[in-house]
Amino acid sequence: MRLALITHASEFCGPAAVRGLLAAGFEVLASDPRFAQGDCLVRFMARFPSVRTRSSTDATALLEDARATGLPLHVVVSNDVHPAHQRATGEATAGDLREALEALVVAPFQLLTAAAGVFRAQGQGRAIVITSSRDRLPQPGGAIADAARAATNALVRGFAVDLAPFGVAVNAIAPNFFASEAYFPKARYVDDPIGHAFVSEQVPAGRLGDEAELAALVTYLATTPGNFHTGSVIEFAGGWPAGRPRPW
């Protein structure tokens, strides 16, 4: 049995990653600071009762927890979440930028750095970083979120180059218009007619991406033989962004 470590497992792409990797036969170690809050852990365990859970966000501690299982660590999924505030120039602050970079760039950097030592020693490993493709089409007030996600995509490509000689694959999945309470909640973008119409207009696929589809992509990256597929940022956005039809 092989081990998969997934961060922020209860939100954004975390449940999809847990679902896919459990189905692929992995033992899953899921971390999320929200497990220490309210009934988050209870609800998560009701859905995924076989998963080992931690509330720590410290990369070194999580790798030690992974080592303590006695199972070989095969894959880490850095599923990083931070509010995508829309703040216009003049309203956004340097503090806003630092918070976003800490959550979306520094956190995956620390996890990948910690995992890299384990993977190099093993001569194999898979790192999957959940980022975003939102920077493909800049929006007013979105500079901070765009910059942070773009930086993480660059980080993935750099780690892929450094770790490829050791049999390690590092890839990113870059969603947009993915159904999650973190960014595209059902009440607003499915049930509400205005939000539903917005998605239908913006996304060529005409809908939000779903959990099963993302789970399959995570599973592919975690289980594909060899490490030749590395350094990619895979957009998962239903064909978005796409231009409008010409007027003639």
Average pLDDT over residues 110-139: 97
Can you give the pLDDT at residue 156?
Answer: 98
Tokens of 192: 């509400």
What does the domain layout of the chain look like in residue ranges?
3-236
Beta strand 233-236 with 3-6: parallel, antiparallel or unpaired? unpaired
3-236 fold? Rossmann fold (3.40.50)
Q: Centre a 10 Å sphere on the Cβ of residue 165 and count the other Cβ atoms it contains.
A: 9
Tokens of 66: 């992974």
pLDDT tens digits for 29-86?
999 999 999 999 999 999 999 999 999 999 999 999 999 999 999 999 999 999 998 8
Alpha helices, DSSP H, located in the chain: 14-23, 40-47, 59-68, 94-101, 107-122, 143-163, 186, 193-202, 211-223
CA angle 66, 156, 25 (to 5 degrees): 40
**Is the distance from CB of 131 to CB of 103 less than 8 angstroms?**
no
Q: Could you identify the residue written with the tokens 């920077």? A: 135
189: DSSP letter: I
pLDDT tens digits for 165-213?
999 999 999 999 999 999 999 999 999 999 999 999 999 999 999 999 9
Distance CA 104, CA 229 (A): 23
Q: Which of 59, 143, 62 lies closest to 101 in space, CA to CA?
A: 143
Distance CA 227, CA 223 (A): 10
Q: Is the pTM of this model over 0.95?
A: yes
Tokens of 193: 């007619």
- For residue 204, whether the previous peptide bond is cis, meaning omega lies within 30 degrees of 0, is no
